[in-house]
């Protein structure tokens, strides 16, 4: 079975086929995820909260991300694997290149994900010019939680929405090959998805993005601090984790998730 690549995802976007993405941090869950037919695995810095027990993603280190990415890559057979660049690991283009080098060479990631818009454009350009595939991340950016003050929807005002759209276009022009949109109004997410040639993956961004991503622990209903409103518990009514993951993949591909109640 061949590995999914960015070319696979581009073909899916062109054909209107939805892309199913989930987070994973270890070998056992990754085996279940692969068996369910997931398209992409994101090794997210969300591990800082759901695995390590921190209040935010900020304490996660590059070594943490390398370790967990390697865990996933040892057993991944088909899914494309993306690794998060953790907080304060990409403050300059050279630092970002060093971090990406570790995530790809030691961890085995196929792509790295960077939070941020205009301030990250130069860094994205620097990385992609050096053969590092990059996924952007706009909207709610958990690494900026102390600036935001709370985990809340972004882009509701006209000015803020225009800024996010402008940032998305700039990231694509800088060479980003994917984009994650988190917690933005569905109308804005649909506009950005239409405006970009690259695949756009939503989380709390409505049904009209090219695909969906959820935190594994959230969609299994085992997050201790409460479940975000844009999440559905796919384990409810299922008899196994793999069945829950398969139900999620089917719901994303069939367009039944996210439903109206999962959007803003």
Tokens of 117: 């818009």
Return the exposure string of 57-75: e unless at least 16 CB atoms fall within 10 Å of the residue's CB, then b.
bbebebebbbbbbbbbbee
Residue 115: strand, helix, or coil: strand
What is the Cβ-side half-sphere exposure of residue 6, based on CA atoms within 13 angstroms?
18
- Which residues, other chains included, contact 39 with Cβ-Cβ below 8 Å and sequence gap of 6+? 4, 8, 9, 12, 19, 20, 21, 79, 80, 211, 249
Q: What is the largest CA-CA distance in the chain?
A: 48
Task: Kindly state the DSSP code that residue 135 receives in the 8-state scheme.
Answer: E
Query: Is 106 among the residues known to form the active site?
Result: no
Q: Which residues pair with 112 in a beta bridge?
A: 83, 134
Determine which one of 34, 115, 182, 191 is catalytic: 182
Q: Which of 114, 262, 141, 138 is nearest to 192 (CA)?
A: 138
Tokens of 202: 């939503």
Beta strands in the chain (DSSP E): 19-23, 40-43, 80-84, 111-115, 134-139, 178-182, 200-203, 211-214
User: Catalytic residues, which ones?
Assistant: 182
């Amino acid at each position: 079975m061949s590995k999914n690549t960015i070319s696979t995802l581009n073909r899916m976007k062109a054909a209107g086929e939805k892309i199913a993405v989930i987070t994973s941090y270890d070998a056992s869950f990754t085996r279940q995820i692969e068996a369910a037919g997931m398209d992409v695995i994101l090794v997210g810095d969300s591990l800082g909260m759901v695995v390590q027990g921190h209040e935010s993603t900020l304490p996660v280190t590059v070594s943490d991300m390398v370790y967990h990415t390697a865990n996933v890559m040892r057993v991944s057979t088909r899914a494309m694997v993306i690794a998060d660049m953790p907080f304060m690991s990409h403050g300059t283009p050279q630092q970002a290149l060093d971090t990406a080098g570790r995530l790809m060479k030691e961890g085995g990631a196929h792509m790295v994900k960077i939070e941020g818009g205009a301030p990250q454009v130069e860094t994205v350009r620097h990385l992609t010019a050096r053969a590092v595939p990059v996924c952007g991340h706009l909207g709610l950016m958990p690494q900026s939680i102390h600036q935001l003050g709370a985990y809340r929807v972004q882009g509701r005002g006209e000015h803020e929405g225009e800024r996010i759209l402008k940032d998305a276009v700039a990231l694509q022009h800088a060479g980003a090959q994917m984009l994650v949109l988190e917690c933005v109004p569905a109308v804005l997410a649909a506009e950005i998805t239409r405006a970009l040639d690259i695949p756009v993956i939503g989380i709390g961004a409505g049904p009209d993005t090219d695909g969906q991503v959820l935190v594994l622990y959230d969609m299994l209903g085992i997050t201790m601090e409460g479940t975000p409103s844009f999440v559905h518990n796919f384990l409810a009514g299922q008899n196994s984790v793999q069945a829950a993951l398969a139900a999620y993949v089917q719901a994303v591909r069939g367009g039944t998730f996210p439903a109206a109640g999962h959007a803003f």
